[in-house]
Amino acid sequence: MIKNIFKMNKENFKEIYEKNFNYVYSFVFLRLAANREATEDIVQETFISAMKGLINYKATSSYKTWLCGIAKNKIMNYYRDNIRKEGPNYAEELNYLVDNQDVEFMVINLETRKVILETLNKLKPIYKYVLILKYIDDYSVKDISKYLCKTPKSIDGILQRAKISFKKEYNMIEGDELYDKRG
């Protein structure tokens, strides 16, 4: 009996994996700002956890939603681990004025996405993570503070510095690309 349940779950899991792998990979890839190595690790961890937990799956949501929930937890763990490695010091490197233009993710076309991902990858990990959580996953400052084990006031400050850094890096990259296209 147990052997049949295991075989059934193994066959079900293979189908679940094949139908949902690309979606879960894309979900993670975007939230890790196109970091392929980390994406592959987290997707693998996600499916391993799902395989182990398949027997407890209650079918209250689709497999895609369930897998993305697992992936989201793995991503949060990744963020926390990387923030701990970065340390508590967030140097104030910003000695210039920036206008109040809000940094909403400018997902207009693929070229802009590429620049956005490149920009995110040039930021400090903490900046990258709060921007992704805030503007891609649409979390509140309060929720981000819970996930990253920081105070909401701290997250507000980090978010403001992250937006300024993002804008600076984005403009530098865009300027380089405009120069490359003309030159």
For the domain covering 2-86, report its CATH number.
Answer: 1.10.1740.10
C-alpha distances in angstroms, 66 versus 94, 131, 160, 162?
41, 24, 32, 31
Q: What is the pLDDT of residues 87-113, one digit of tens each?
A: 544 333 333 323 333 333 333 445 667
Cα–Cα distances in angstroms (integers) from residue 20 to residues 24, 51, 69, 72, 169, in the given order: 6, 13, 13, 15, 34
Compute CA distances 121 → 5, 67, 81, whole Å: 44, 25, 17
For 127-149, the pLDDT digits (tens) are 988 998 888 888 899 988 888 88
Domain ranges within the chain, ordered by starting residue: 2-86, 110-182
pTM, 2 dp: 0.57
Place of tokens 């937890």: 73
Cα-trace Rg, the chain: 19
Q: Do domains 2-86 and 110-182 have the same CATH topology?
A: no
Structure-token pair, residue 53 = 């937990």
| CA-closest candidate to residue 167, choices 110, 133, 136, 123 | 123
Look up the CATH number of domain 110-182.
Answer: 1.10.10.10
Buried b (16+ CB within 10 A) or exposed e, 101-130: eebeeeeeeeeeeebbbebbebbbbbbbbb
Q: What is the pLDDT along the chain (183 residues), one digit of tens a residue?
A: 334 344 446 667 888 899 999 999 988 988 887 788 999 999 999 999 988 888 777 888 888 989 989 998 898 888 877 776 655 443 333 333 233 333 333 334 456 677 778 888 889 888 988 998 888 888 899 988 888 888 999 999 999 999 999 999 988 887 755 444 444
